[in-house]
Structure 1
Amino acid sequence: MIKSESKITIQMDKEIIDQIVKDEVKNRLEQQFELHKFFYTMKDLRFMTGLSEASIYKYMFPDPRLPKRKIGNKWLFKVNEMNDFLNIWIDQFPND
């Protein structure tokens, strides 16, 4: 009797898997933030986007659609408006 072995090869595209994971993490973080906050701070934005404060000022602040409010010396961003903005902004940002 001859034994035959079957092998299954699965190929996965790392970039697609990375994007799926990033999207899921982003969605879960947004849900958590929305449950507990009315405003995002600059620190929240840095955490959510992975951008530095300098990059946020350079790339987001010139956009007139950015829903920003300055209270005292602190920038605040209304959670629901900012989530909408980020979804539109990232899709329109040039991919260098």
Structure 2
Amino acid sequence: MLSINIDEKQVRELLKAKIAEFLKEADAEYVFWDASELKRRTCMSWNFIQEQFFFDPRFSKRKVGSKWYFPAKETREFLGKWLLEQPK
């Protein structure tokens, strides 16, 4: 008869590491975000985004035709800094 012992703690750690790796890879696939992706990632409405940081000169954006695009890496970095600047 075959007996298998599983260390649940180790399995959880392995799963966390794999999930983090997967999320990092999935996130790296985006070079640009469009307005829909920006709204989804920030959980903010378009009006709120415009009121809060859209016109901040540090916020990198480009309009191509009628659509706005935001470089994913720079946008993520800006949003992190912007959030820390907000009053508590």
Q: 1:80 to 1:70 in 2, by over 3 A?
A: same
Matched residues, number: 68
Structure 1 vs Structure 2: percent identity of aligned residues? 31
Structure 1, unmatched stretches of 5+, are 1-26
1:45 equivalent in structure 2 = 38
Measured in 2, the distance between the counterparts of 1:70 and 1:78 equals 12
User: Considering only aligned residues, what root-mean-square deviation do their CA atoms show, in Å?
Assistant: 2.1
Structure 2, unmatched stretches of 5+, are 1-19
In the TM superposition, structure 1's runs of 4+ consecutive aligned residues that sit over 6 Å from their partners are: none
2:59 equivalent in structure 1 = 66
TM-score when normalising by structure 2: 0.67
TM-score when normalising by structure 1: 0.62
- CA-to-partner distance for each residue in 1:18-74, whole Å, 9 max, x for gaps? xxxxxxxxx88x735532211011111111111001111111112110011111111
Measured in 2, the distance between the counterparts of 1:33 and 1:89 equals 24
